[in-house]
Chain A
Amino acid sequence: MTVRNLLVRAYPRSWREEYGEELAGVLARRRLTFAVAVDVLGGAARQHLYRDDPWKICGTGLFAWTVCGLLLKWYTGAVLVFPVFFVAGLWTVLRTKSGIFEGGLAAVPAASLCCAPDIIAVLLNGPVPVRHGGAIWYRWGLFVASSLHIDGWQYVELLSLVLVASAVLGLAGALTGKFLAGVRKGLHA
């Protein structure tokens, strides 16, 4: 697979079906420079933003955020994922004009992607006491006051809490989205 093919494959599948062959044709007739590659990747990022489901974009970002948090041991960064659940709900309603529940529940798969690296880390490392800074035990353990050790059930509880929190925040985002859509409609009326 050539670099040109890889650049075309950076675009969403639905876009590639429509324009992929044309873009490949244009790239084949141009000298491939760093600036051209950056330009094409920028175009691909824009198409992902316009076309992909908001939960996928939020979930991918959260997945990367969690991996970075684990690698850099920046556990307090976990708090910052919660506003993203709100954004996932808000964005879904504004983008797809879906209902409040549909929009709100869009945050749950994003939260699942967010937790996935933690689950993998625990599976690889095994349970580690909170005070020793073990992946998820420490990470989500921040929300459990004065708890230095978390057993398996508490871990399940914490993950469930994250999923429930994502649904609640997603619903709040979806409600806000509906409100903003109503205001926008009123302004244009």
Chain B
Amino acid sequence: MARKSTAGPATDPELLILSSVAGGPKHGYAMMQEIAAFSGVELGPGTLYTAITRLVEEGWIEPVEASGRQRPYRLTPGGLDYLRGQLERMRQLASFGLRRLRTV
């Protein structure tokens, strides 16, 4: 349930989660709030935990031991590389698209 009027890589739940935990370990609810604040995308709990499950299985984030109901997750070195690569591709695409737009 990534609700926004537009779709694309900037609303991809996995990239949004990786970007969120790049700022430090966070639990699910904190991710949802931060993602809504910085991107305007409201991830539903089902979408959020589908993405978290996949990211953990890929080894891009990992849970941090904590007491209580909410378990924080942190970015792994592999996740950092993946996020950097994806954002770099998005930057290249954005600058290419913007250059093209200047000629229109």
Binding site for B on A (CB under 8 A): 15, 18-19, 21-27, 29-30, 35-36, 38-44, 46-47
Contact = CB atoms under 8 A, between A and B. Distances in A.
A38 B70 CA distance: 23
Interface stretch (B4-12, B43-51, B74-82, B85-93): B43-51
B28 interface: yes
A25 B1 contact: no
A42 B46 contact: yes
Contacts, number: 60
Given A22-B70, A39-B47, 4 more contacts: A18-B53, A40-B46, A43-B44, A47-B50
Given A21-B69, A35-B1, A39-B1, A26 B53 contact: no
Given A30-B45, A36-B44, A25 B50 contact: no
A40 B44 CA distance: 7
Contact of A26 (B3, B45, B50): B45
B1 A23 contact: no
Interface residues of B, number: 18
A47 B53 contact: yes
Interface centre among B29, B44, B46 (most CB of A within 10 A): B46
A41 B28 CA distance: 18
A182 to B, nearest CB: 25
A128 to B, nearest CB: 45
A26 B48 contact: yes
B79 to A, nearest CB: 18
B53 A25 contact: no
A43 B47 contact: yes
Closest 5 CB pairs between A and B? A43-B46, A39-B44, A39-B1, A40-B46, A39-B46
